[in-house]
Structure 1
Amino acid sequence: MAETSSPVGSVDRALLILQEIGKHSRGVTLDELATRLGLPKSSLHRLLGALKHRGFAAQPEPSGPYFLGSEMLATAFGFYEKMDLRALVRPLLLRLSEGFAETVHMATLDGGEVVYLDKVESTRTITMTSVIGGRNAAHCTGVGKALLAWTYPTDEAIRAWAERFGPLATRTRNTITAPAKLATHLDQIRQRGYAYDLEENEPGVRCVAAPVFLGKSAPVAAVSVTALKDRMSAARMEEIGDGLRRAVAEQV
């Protein structure tokens, strides 16, 4: 998404300050903030004073470095603990459905399976096993592979996952069931930024999926665009993948 000027400059500067402080686990000084943000120390000091007053910034020692404050952390953790993931991602699903005119899903990872939290049906007829609240194997679905690729980001981690939740079931002749081959496949997904399901879960059905992070190091969900094979050429899957990755980045 292209950057635009903030309608409220002082609010924008305060947010930039918080973002910068958040990059420094050992704190950051006033001089360092001024240099990094290109702000005058006088205005920076006033904004930091306001953030400290509300508990969003902290300065344990006078003239010492600044840290994120307890209120900032409480607000963030409280939001993640109570957030309605379905309500938060639903607008993205509606946009994807309208933009690609295909069925879209949102799912989360639960052990060796994915759980579908939301689904927006296409006006084009397509029959699939996915239903809201339903489950499918993670290793052979687009959303599952998008979640696995970043939740278990090393070959060793995915092999340990496969050992715990395997043996990996064969759903179609395209299903990847060998842990070593799956690990290589997931590495390709990480490099590309999105996952494919090439009729690995259901014959004749393909999908493209991308992870949703919401600020966390591992994805909290994945979203996918699904269609019949006839509408999912290699070129269209690549187009959808690039569009899906951009849409997720802009939304969340």
Structure 2
Amino acid sequence: MAEVQSPVGSVDRALLILQEIGKHSRGVTLDELATRLGLPKSSLHRLLGALKHRGFAAQPDQGGAYFLGTEMLATAFRFYETMDLRTLVRPLLLRLSEEFAETVHMAMLDGAEVVYLDKVEAVRTITMTSVVGGRNAAHCTGVGKALLAWTHTTDDAVHAWGDRFGPLVAKTRNTIIDPAKLATHLDQIRQRGYALDLEENEPGVRCVAAPVFMGRTTPVAAVSVTALKDRMSPAKMEEIGHGLRRSIAEQV
């Protein structure tokens, strides 16, 4: 399929320049940018001048390498500080609920618990403890384990978290309460790319969850698809897991 052309070529080229500069932590020269982007150095130099004027690009040494400017970083940080996660992720939740015809949650990590920021009920709703603004234990929920897996990425970090917030409480007979077993389990989640709740928080209820990063190294939230166990076979959970990862990558 042919690539869709940008409606404003100069803006598109400026964005490509910023993307390319962002790949080089040690800076990138005008010649390197021209080669990588296939742009004439004369027009490239003019665009870089405009980006430098607005602070989105920087060139500490005359004729030297280019870096991302402080205004680029400041704009990104201002956005993250003021963004409304619920507004940004709501379209994803609606899409997932329609695709899988099940209840969808979004939650964030707060110490030993998850806080539910949003919830889209399926037509065939089920009774659950989750409510918007409510909390559940992180170690036994799909969203919680997805958040823990990418927030505490080493065994030592998981043990430290367990020491701080333990002892972990068993909500069902399937709940993992041993920090060592939880650390191993979280490593498996990272390898798989999504978390499973196999009736660990509520009997008869299963869910699949994946992290939402929004450009950060640790997740800002997690999204889950939840259903009764009769509708959550291993094959169905795998299908949802891959669908979650794909949809998150495409939409947020």
Distance (Å, rounded) in 1 between the aligned partners of 2:7 and 2:202 = 48
* Secondary structure of the structure 1 residue equivalent to 2:167: coil
Could you list the runs of 5+ residues in structure 1 that have no partner in the other structure?
Answer: none
Distance (Å, rounded) in 2 between the aligned partners of 1:120 and 1:166 = 31
Distance (Å, rounded) in 2 between the aligned partners of 1:12 and 1:77 = 22
Instruction: Determine if contact 2:103/2:125 at 8 Å carries over to the other structure.
Output: no
Tell me whether 178-187 or 208-217 shows the greater mean CA deviation.
178-187
> Against the structure 1 CA distance between its residues 200 and 4, is the aligned structure 2 distance closer, same or farther, given a 3 Å change threshold?
farther
Matching residue of 1:127: 127
Matching residue of 1:31: 31
Distance (Å, rounded) in 1 between the aligned partners of 2:19 and 2:239 = 32
> Against the structure 1 CA distance between its residues 158 and 64, is the aligned structure 2 distance closer, same or farther, given a 3 Å change threshold?
same
> Against the structure 1 CA distance between its residues 159 and 4, is the aligned structure 2 distance closer, same or farther, given a 3 Å change threshold?
farther
* 1:247 maps to 2:247: yes
Following superposition, the deviation at residue 24 of structure 1 comes to 2.2
AA of the residue aligned to 2:120: V
Following superposition, the deviation at residue 51 of structure 1 comes to 1.0
Q: How many residues align?
A: 251
AA of the residue aligned to 2:10: S
Following superposition, the deviation at residue 79 of structure 1 comes to 0.5
Matching residue of 2:113: 113
Tell me whether 42-51 or 5-14 shows the greater mean CA deviation.
5-14
* 1:22 maps to 2:19: no
Distance (Å, rounded) in 1 between the aligned partners of 2:134 and 2:23 = 39
Moved over 6 A (4+): none
RMSD of aligned Cα (Å): 1.4
Percent identity reads 85
AA of the residue aligned to 1:231: R
Matching residue of 1:224: 224
Distance (Å, rounded) in 2 between the aligned partners of 1:149 and 1:10 = 41
Distance (Å, rounded) in 2 between the aligned partners of 1:62 and 1:177 = 59
**Residues 145-166 of structure 1: CA deviation (Å, up to 9, x unaligned):** 1000101111111111111111
Following superposition, the deviation at residue 10 of structure 1 comes to 2.4
Distance (Å, rounded) in 2 between the aligned partners of 1:125 and 1:80 = 33
Following superposition, the deviation at residue 3 of structure 1 comes to 6.4
When normalised by structure 2's length, the TM-score is: 0.96
> Against the structure 1 CA distance between its residues 118 and 232, is the aligned structure 2 distance closer, same or farther, given a 3 Å change threshold?
same
Matching residue of 2:148: 148
Could you list the runs of 5+ residues in structure 2 that have no partner in the other structure?
Answer: none
Distance (Å, rounded) in 1 between the aligned partners of 2:234 and 2:5 = 38
Tell me whether 124-133 or 45-54 shows the greater mean CA deviation.
45-54
When normalised by structure 1's length, the TM-score is: 0.96
